[in-house]
Amino acid sequence: MKRIIVLVMMMLPIMAMAQLPQFSKVADKYSSVEGITSMVINKSMIAMFADGNEDFDFVDEVQILMSEDANVAANIAKDAKKAAKKSKLEELLSANDEGATYTVYTKSKNNEITHLVVIVENDSPAGFVIISGIIPEDKLNDVVHIANM
């Protein structure tokens, strides 16, 4: 779980986000289940956390849904993959690290990347992180390098 949180924190200065309806349905389905970590961090909270750091200007919202329970985690990862397909996201990369699979997707509008989705498949924890906003291409390259660490 710590590794996932570190990955998210490293990606925050690089991305921005607005909710994807298919992922909102998955989050709604699991958010009230015991043992689930579910949060949405809005632009105001990000600005407070960024404390004037311009790298955070791209971030509009971050949505996180994770589970430590192996059974629930497997279901979340499966539902998140379906949501990615229904949302017509483009798969950027898939990386295996220490038994976990990290799949990175993007969504574009008018030739601008508006969403970055990372789905984590593992026995525990597993889930997804969505970062929404207008993501510059050079910042996306940074994410690819982070994910390949």
Give the residue from 69, 65, 64, 47 showing the smallest Cα distance to 56. Answer: 47
pLDDT digits (tens, 9 = 90+) for 66-84: 998 888 888 999 999 999 9
Q: Considering the entire predicted model, what is its pTM?
A: 0.78
For residue 17, pLDDT over 80 is answered with no
For residue 137, pLDDT over 90 is answered with no
As for how many domains the chain has, the answer is 1
Residue 1 corresponds to which amino acid? M
Task: Say how many C-beta atoms besides its own lie within 10 A of residue 82's C-beta.
Answer: 13
Range of the domain at 61: 2-147
Task: State the alpha helices, DSSP H only, in 1-149.
Answer: 2-11, 21-30, 43-50, 70-86, 137-147
